[in-house]
Amino acid sequence: MTVLAGMFALAVSIAVGSVTIPIKEQVLILGHKLFGAAKPESVEASLISIMWSIRMPRAFLAFLAGGALSASGAVIQSVLQNPLASSYTLGVSSGASLGAAIVTVTELSIPFLGVFLLPVFGFAGGLLTVLFVIAFSARIDGNVKNHTIVLFGMVMSLFVNAVLTMLSVLASEHEHQLLAWQMGTFAGKRWYHVGILAAACLMGLVLLLRDHRELDILSFGDEQALAIGVDAPRVKKRLIVIAAFLTGVSVCFTGTIGFIDLIAPHMVRRIFGSVHRLVLPMSFLAGGICMCLADLLARTILAPQDLPVGAVTALFGAPFFMWLYFGKKGN
Amino acid sequence: MGIQLKQVFAGYGSPRNENQTDVLKNLTFGIQEGQTVCILGENGSGKSTLLRVLAGTLHYRGSIRLEDTELARMNRRNLSSQIAFMTQFSNVYFSYSVWETVMLGRYLKLNRFLGRPTETDRRRVAECLEMTGLSGLKEATLGELSGGQLQRVFLARTFAQDTPYILLDEPTNHLDLKYQSQLAQYLKDWAGRERQYPDGTFHCNTLIGVFHDINLALQIADELIVMKEGEILACGNKSQILQADILQQAYGMDVSTYMKKQLEIWNG
């Protein structure tokens, strides 16, 4: 069901735009591109190239980024037993965009890394921030209580964002690009972006699913996890690193996009329960669907203006989240 | 066999912090296999801390040997397959069902990656639910339960771990009288029961519990440990501990007169 909904969201998101590409024609074009079927007569060549090189990479990237963010959001919420935590609150997102921004501003290039330069730096930035958050929390609080991590993560996140803003003012020639980053965008993405992110998502999801039972146990708190037989400090760090990896790679292509990683896991938990064997893949799909639709709105509401997708997710996400989270307590 | 503590100190705070104050001070005693040991003492006397140390969730200095192996050297899986620990009340943030929660107790018995629960796991979980009177609430989510029901869920999960040692921290403080007496009976039956280890040898179940309710502790314990300010004030069997001055020191009040007065209410 959810998979079908995901495909539908992708199809709609590919269909709508300055030119509409009906789903029937999408299928024809796909058949032509993927399976070497005869070039459909009824479809204009320009439509094919719009779909194949603009709409499709964009839709797929949005889907994957939303999925990656949501899956890592679900993990961080469980590991910290805080339904309000996410990669964003831990500073992973801002760390990753800072890493990516440094590459852009310094016009850095490292041989061999090639197209992997940005994801590598994004991942490193996100990971360094979260490791710093954990290490610092451990220094001031020996038991590394979860709320210490969340509080310090939020402080770090704001701090890193400030550095990012300074950077964008100083490097004024990149200002526009960096600003877009801070609000997130899927414009101008190519297939290789999709490829890298898809590989990262697959790897991350498999690694997370390996620990699905540990995630269930960790959501009851570290002491109970230890008592049941999960080496909580070690498994927790491992899971946070994988979550940082997923977030880092997606952020460095798209910029920071909030709320999806809070909303999607929440919806999933309410519909499918809390067992991570389901929560992880479903959060991925739900996050992908939400992000596809958010991007669709971002490029159509004020067309031909392209809104930053982060603004759209926050605009719709904030009230939706309020309803989801506080509405539950009402009944 | 059993657990031997020698000059054990423990406290909270960062392990690097030199001047952390010790909550447990110089504990030396032994717990024999097959016994039911109850720990008594006023609030803050270090009862829960002692359980944490025994469960390996808190660092200690000194020596604790579990059947000839130093606790600190055992890896987590190994330790938790010997000792199960039910902590005091905990918050629940996510809506697992009762069945799912109790099944988590089978974690170490399941195979790592795709291992689905076997018939044995299901049967054991069903037994534990039956024992705690939760069979009718299998599908309920934790958020819907009362404090007492939640406590029974965690009890069931602890027993589902199927370990030869069980540590319980105030297992009855939220329970109705009916479940308190049922639990006391179950614990009495469970402790001392023989089980076969994977290596073929036979061992008896050992129970270590912290109880607020002195009467309940007296009812089930073979051995009592009375703590005061992180030290052991006295340990021994019922008649040794029931001496008025020991309990008077431990609780800072005349416990036996108080208990007798309560009895008078029933005797009319």
Rounded to an integer, what distance in angstroms lies between the CA atom of residue A160 and that of residue A164? 6
Contact B55 A226 (CB under 8 A): yes
Inform me whether the C-beta atom of residue A229 falls under 8 Å from chain B C-beta atoms: yes
Residue partners of B261: CB distance under 8 A and separation at least 6: none
| DSSP-based helix, strand, coil % in chain A, nearest 5 | 80, 0, 20
- State pLDDT tens for residues B94-125: 889 999 999 999 998 886 656 688 888 899 99
Write the CATH number for B68: 3.40.50.300
Inform me whether the C-beta atom of residue B91 falls under 8 Å from chain A C-beta atoms: yes
CA B196 to chain centre: 22
Q: Are residues B132 and B185 in the same domain?
A: no
CA B85 to chain centre: 6
Q: Are residues B103 and B219 in the same domain?
A: no
Whether the pLDDT of residue B17 is over 60: the answer is no
Q: Which of the pair, B18 or A237, is modelled with greater confidence?
A: A237
- From A162-171, A258-267, B15-24, the region with the lowest mean pLDDT: B15-24
Q: What is the DSSP string of A39-92?
A: PPTTS-HHHHHHIIIIIHHHHHHHHHHHHHHHHHHHHHHHHTT-TT--TTTTTH
- From A103-107, A212-216, A222-226, the region with the lowest mean pLDDT: A103-107
Residues 143-172 of A with CB under 8 A from B: 143
Q: Are residues B171 and B61 in the same domain?
A: yes
- From A129-133, B96-100, B107-111, B163-167, the region with the lowest mean pLDDT: B107-111
Q: How confident is the model at residue A114 (pLDDT cuts 50, 70, 90)?
A: low
Q: Are residues B110 and B174 in the same domain?
A: no
CA angle in degrees (0–180, nearest 5) for B185-B190-B195: 165
- From A10-24, A94-108, B214-228, the region with the lowest mean pLDDT: A10-24
Q: What is the DSSP string of A184-235?
A: ---TT--HHHHHHHHHHHHHHHHHHHHTHHHHHHHTT-HHHHHHHT--HHHH
Q: Are residues B16 and B135 in the same domain?
A: no
- State pLDDT tens for residues A146-201: 778 888 888 888 898 888 888 888 877 777 777 777 777 787 778 888 998 999 99
> Which range, A301-310, B19-28, B129-138, B253-262, has the best average confidence (pLDDT)?
B129-138
Write the CATH number for A16: 1.10.3470.10
Residue partners of A43: CB distance under 8 A and separation at least 6: A25, A28, A29
- Structural domains counted in chain B: 2
Inform me whether the C-beta atom of residue B86 falls under 8 Å from chain A C-beta atoms: yes
Distance in Å, alpha carbon of A292 to nearest chain B alpha carbon: 27
Other CB atoms within 10 Å distance of the CB of residue A295 = 29
Mutation target among A143, A145, A214, A220 for the B interface, most CBs of B within 10 A: A220
Q: Are residues B145 and B212 in the same domain?
A: no
**Does the global pTM surpass 0.90?**
no
Domain boundary, last residue among B133, B162, B191: B162
Inform me whether the C-beta atom of residue B96 falls under 8 Å from chain A C-beta atoms: yes
Tell me, what's the pLDDT at A255? 83
Q: Is residue A247 within a helix (H) or strand (E), and if so which, with residue range?
A: helix A232-254
Count Cβ–Cβ pairs < 8 Å, chain A vs chain B: 88
Q: Are residues B170 and B228 in the same domain?
A: yes
Q: Are residues B27 and B103 in the same domain?
A: no
Overall average pLDDT of the B125-148 stretch: 91
Whether the pLDDT of residue A222 is over 80: the answer is yes
Whether the pLDDT of residue A113 is over 70: the answer is no
Tell me, what's the pLDDT at A92? 85
φ/ψ (deg, to 5) at B204: -105, 150
Contact B55 A216 (CB under 8 A): no
CA atoms A17, A19, A23, A26: torsion sign: negative
- State pLDDT tens for residues A6-47: 777 777 777 676 667 777 777 777 777 777 666 666 777 777
- State pLDDT tens for residues B174-219: 888 888 888 888 888 888 888 877 677 788 899 999 988 888 898 8
A217, A227, A231 ranked by CB distance to B85: nearest:
A227
Tell me, what's the pLDDT at A97? 83
Q: How confident is the model at residue B51 (pLDDT cuts 50, 70, 90)?
A: very high
Domain boundary, last residue among B127, B143, B162: B162
Mutation target among A81, A219, A224, A275 for the B interface, most CBs of B within 10 A: A224
Whether the pLDDT of residue A330 is over 50: the answer is no
Q: Which of the pair, B220 or A123, is modelled with greater confidence?
A: B220
Q: Are residues B22 and B70 in the same domain?
A: yes
Domain boundary, last residue among B162, B196, B216: B162
**Sheet with B231-236: strands ordered across:** B83-86, B165-169, B206-210, B36-40, B223-228, B231-236
Domain that holds residue A62: 2-330
B12, B87, B94 ranked by CB distance to A224: nearest:
B87
**Sheet with B61-66: strands ordered across:** B22-32, B2-11, B61-66, B69-70
Domain that holds residue B106: 86-162
Tell me, what's the pLDDT at A285? 92
ipTM of the complex: 0.90
- Structural domains counted in chain A: 1
Nearest to A70 by CA among A310, A283, A272: A283
Q: Which of the pair, A62 or A144, is modelled with greater confidence?
A: A62
Distance in Å, alpha carbon of A270 to nearest chain B alpha carbon: 8
Contact A230 B81 (CB under 8 A): no
Q: Are residues B244 and B189 in the same domain?
A: yes
Q: Are residues B6 and B130 in the same domain?
A: no
The residue behind tokens 């006295």 is: B234
CA atoms B157, B163, B164, B167: torsion sign: negative
Chain-wide mean pLDDT for chain B?
87
| 3-class secondary structure per residue, chain B | CEEEEEEEEEECCCCCCCCCCEEEEEEEEEEECCCEEEEECCCCCCHHHHHHHHHCCCCCEEEEEECCEEHHHCCHHHHHCCEEEECCCCCCCCCCEHHHHHHHCCHHHCCCCCCCCCHHHHHHHHHHHHHCCCHHHCCCEHHHCCHHHHHHHHHHHHHHCCCCEEEEECCCCCCCHHHHHHHHHHHHHHCCCEEECCCCCEEECEEEEECCCHHHHHHHCCEEEEEECCEEEEEECHHHHCCHHHHHHHHCCCHHHHHHHHHHHHHC
Question: What would the two tokens of residue B20 be?
Answer: 């952390």
Contact B94 A230 (CB under 8 A): no
Inform me whether the C-beta atom of residue A275 falls under 8 Å from chain B C-beta atoms: yes
SS3 A149: helix
Inform me whether the C-beta atom of residue B163 falls under 8 Å from chain A C-beta atoms: no
Chain-wide mean pLDDT for chain A?
83
Contacts of A83 in chain B (CB under 8 A): 93-94
Q: Which of the pair, B2 or A22, is modelled with greater confidence?
A: B2
Inform me whether the C-beta atom of residue B191 falls under 8 Å from chain A C-beta atoms: no
Tell me, what's the pLDDT at B112? 63
Whether the pLDDT of residue B77 is over 80: the answer is yes
Q: Are residues B175 and B66 in the same domain?
A: yes
Whether the pLDDT of residue A111 is over 90: the answer is no
Tell me, what's the pLDDT at B44? 86
Contact B96 A275 (CB under 8 A): yes
Tell me, what's the pLDDT at A32? 74
Rounded to an integer, what distance in angstroms lies between the CA atom of residue B72 and that of residue B86? 19
Contact B156, B129 (CB under 8 A): yes
A220, A221, A227 ranked by CB distance to B80: nearest:
A227
φ/ψ (deg, to 5) at B227: -110, 150
